[in-house]
Amino acid sequence: MHRGYRCISTTFRNYDRATRISGCTGNLGANGYGADYLGGYSLSSAGIAEVVATFIFLMVIFGATSWKAPAGFAGIAIGLSLAMIHMVMIPVTGTSVNPARSLGPAVVSGGTALAQLWLFLVAPVIGAVIAAVVWKYLFEDTTSPA
């Protein structure tokens, strides 16, 4: 327990020193939107983009892990789709797709990143729920393999 605490406290202390020495206090990969963030996309554009990206990602996951998909290839499909989503979405919002990925950088960065965090918690959940409903009612086959 003590060793874990020392490791965590040393990591934060070193980060604090490095940012003070370099003068760099960047946003640590926090997501965002608006005129001051990357492409300058609006709240509505960022929200729609995050919902659609999460929807696409979840549809790939559902399809790749379906019993009808070839065994052993889910990781390739999921990994390539996530890479594609990041290539498209980083200039727009920094890519959330996963609320947990957005939480840490926003909490550590604070300020605008923390104020805009709500979008990157809500939009992926909306996209995931839509994907689950679409998959269940349009693509899921209730008959299992023999």
Count the Cβ atoms, other than its own, within 10 Å of residue 55: 20
Dump pLDDT digits (tens) for 8-30. 655 555 455 544 544 445 667 78
Provide mean pLDDT across the span 99-120: 90
- Spatial contact of 131 and 62, defined as CB atoms under 8 Å apart: yes
DSSP string of 46-86, one letter each residue: HHHHHHHHHHHHHHHHHHHTSTTSPTT-HHHHHHHHHHHHH
- Spatial contact of 117 and 47, defined as CB atoms under 8 Å apart: no
pTM of the model as a whole: 0.77
Provide mean pLDDT across the span 127-131: 97
pLDDT at position 16: 54
pLDDT confidence bin for 145, thresholds 50/70/90: low
